[in-house]
Amino acid sequence: MATIWFDGSIVPQHEAKVSVYDHGLLYGDGVFEGIRVYGGRVFKMQSHLRRLYESAERIRLSIPYTLAELEQALRDTVRTSGKPDAYIRLVVTRGVGTLGLNPFTCPMPHVFIICDSIQLYPPQLYDTGMKVIVAQRPRIPVACLDPAIKSLNYLNNILAKIESIDAGVLEAIMLNTDGQVAECTGDNIFVVKDGAVVTPPPDAGLLNGVTRRFVMDTLCPALGIACSERHLRLEDVYAADEVFLTGTAAEVIGVNAVGDHVIGTGRGGPVTARLTAEFRRRVAAGAPED
């Protein structure tokens, strides 16, 4: 059973409800964060909260709690759940308004925290790697919708996810309208060539993931692995020695094939394995909350 904090209080799951007039429901007008808990510690909590407030500011949504208050709410929800390892969904909706688009008819946002469990991919795929496809649907251009905004409007990603489901796989690579690699439907993507790690830059049209930055700023330097950003095309992915994905729910997982193209040996690779092991070691030793 999930534990839910709703507008300031822990409530039973059946009482955690939003109005049919909430603009978060009507228009996807709101922001959210997915956050992991390891050993009772909220992984990269400060990074997630900063991004939540930055996303809200970009859509002119005023969160009715301070960062410190939301931090305490997260801790209270995790403690009440009794789950040492969990997944948190922190959501801010625009709140109740009219049936029109005007967001400023919504006087008070709703804020809620769900603390539950998640398993995005089967455990065996972390050993063997997984197959993905390339979605036909491109990523929304940055000029149309800033991917730095982690909004409730995920329809672009969902339509690409449907393509992967129809193909019988669990993820799809999304290209931007210039044909460059952006990200997957719910994960960031990295390639490994000659021992060095490369990932697309944010201006390719991707969310600058918290786990992505943890890999780039902490894990790669700690392991002496070169890591950089540059624009990638599918040819770079197909020619890679390894490909891996990162995300809050996914953590670090290898890719063994992209469509009909086998990646490397077809069973992940040593760089991905080292990064996965280091990620697990660090969160087991005390997940960083910065």
pLDDT, one tens digit per residue, over 118-168 is 999 999 999 999 999 999 999 999 999 999 999 999 999 999 999 999 999
pTM of the model: 0.97
The first and second tokens of residue 242, run together, are 């390894």
**Is residue 17 domain-shared with residue 150, that is, in the same domain?**
no
pLDDT higher than 90, residue 233? yes
- Gyration radius of the chain over CA positions: 19
**In the 8-state DSSP scheme, what is residue 107?**
-
**Is residue 65 domain-shared with residue 153, that is, in the same domain?**
no
The 10 Å Cβ neighbour count of residue 223 is 14
**Is residue 24 domain-shared with residue 60, that is, in the same domain?**
yes
Per the CB < 8 A criterion, the answer to whether 180 and 240 are in contact is no
Residue ending a domain, choose from 116, 141, 159: 116
The 10 Å Cβ neighbour count of residue 147 is 21
- Give the pLDDT confidence score for residue 98 in this predicted structure: 97
Mean pLDDT of 233-247: 98
pLDDT over 70, % of the chain: 100
Domain that holds residue 81: 3-116
Secondary structure (3-state) at 188: strand
The 10 Å Cβ neighbour count of residue 51 is 21
pLDDT higher than 90, residue 268? no
**Is residue 53 domain-shared with residue 134, that is, in the same domain?**
no
Query: Which is the catalytic residue, given 83, 131, 150, 161?
Result: 150
**Is residue 244 domain-shared with residue 181, that is, in the same domain?**
yes
List pLDDT tens digits, range 42-64: 999 999 999 999 999 999 999 99
CATH, residue 110:
3.30.470.10
List pLDDT tens digits, range 182-219: 999 999 999 999 999 999 999 999 999 999 999 999 99
Per the CB < 8 A criterion, the answer to whether 289 and 41 are in contact is yes
**Is residue 106 domain-shared with residue 176, that is, in the same domain?**
no
CA atoms within 13 A on the CB side of 205: 24
**Is residue 141 domain-shared with residue 272, that is, in the same domain?**
yes
Name the average pLDDT for the chain.
97
**Is residue 32 domain-shared with residue 133, that is, in the same domain?**
no
Local confidence band at 7 (pLDDT 50, 70, 90 cut-offs): very high
**In the 8-state DSSP scheme, what is residue 219?**
I
**Is residue 158 domain-shared with residue 103, that is, in the same domain?**
no
150 assigned to active site? yes
> What distance lies between CA 260 and its chain's CA centroid?
26
Contacts of 65 (CB under 8 A, 6+ apart): 73, 111
Count up the domains in the chain and report the number: 2
**Is residue 169 domain-shared with residue 99, that is, in the same domain?**
no
**Is residue 142 domain-shared with residue 194, that is, in the same domain?**
yes
**Is residue 189 domain-shared with residue 280, that is, in the same domain?**
yes
pLDDT higher than 90, residue 246? yes
- Give the pLDDT confidence score for residue 73 in this predicted structure: 98
